[in-house]
Amino acid sequence: MYTHGDRWLDHDAGPVVRPYALTGGRTRPSGESIDLIAMVSAMRGLSPDPMGLEPEHIQVLRMCRLPVSVADLAADLDLPLGVVRILLADMRERGLVMIHQPVPTRLSDPRILREVADGLRRLL
């Protein structure tokens, strides 16, 4: 049974503890929401002070020297999406990365959908 002090030590809490320790226990990112397929790119010309950066921050910076999607980052880091979003929101606030939100398809140029269909036919 759970008592007040030890509930997070229970093994059922398992994977919840470690990833959210990274985020200081927060479960929601700050600022504008971050789509699953938003593209993340590192600010160029930065020489980020390693002080105050978690290894994960540095890893993210390395991974998004070229634009990479939030979903790709989460899969590559093997971290839950929620955690990656909080990391990215923090990094955005500190001016380390830019996050480019996707255009919702219903607002896109129909030409893009034609290119998607043509691309699928050609590729697969």
Partner 1 sequence: MAYAGSYRDGGPAARDAYPAAMPVTVKILIAGGFGAGKTTLVSSVSEIRPLRTEESLSEPGAVVDLTDGVERKTTTTVAMDFGRITVRDDLVIYLFGTPGQKRFWFMWDELALGALGAVVMADTRRLADCFPSVDYFERNRTPFIVAVNCFDGAQRYHPDTVRTALDLTDDVPVVLCDARSRASCRDVLVALVENALQLLTGSASYVTPAR
Q: Quick check: 112 binds partner 1 (CB under 8 A)?
A: yes
Q: Does 99 bind partner 1 (CB under 8 A)?
A: no
21 binds partner 1 (CB under 8 A): no
Residue pair 30/93 in contact by the 8 Å Cβ criterion: yes
Strand intervals (E) in 15-77: 39-42, 68-69
Whether 39 and 73 have beta carbons less than 8 Å apart is answered as no
Among 18, 19, 26, 62, binds partner 1 (CB under 8 A): 19
The CB density around residue 26, as the number of other CB atoms within 10 Å, is 14
Q: Return the axis-axis angle of helices 55-63 and 70-77, rounded to nearest 10°.
A: 130
- According to the binding rule CB under 8 A, does residue 71 interact with partner 1? yes
Q: Which residues of 68-84 are buried (b: 16+ CB within 10 A; e: fewer)?
A: bbbebbbeebebeebbb
Q: How far is the CB of 93 from partner 1 (least distance, A)?
A: 16
Binding mask 39-68 for partner 1 (x = CB under 8 A): x-xxxxxx-------------------xxx
Residues engaged in binding partner 1 (CB under 8 A): 2, 7, 10, 12-13, 15-16, 19, 27, 35-39, 41-46, 66-69, 71-72, 74-75, 78-83, 98, 100, 102-106, 108, 110, 112-117, 119-121, 123-124
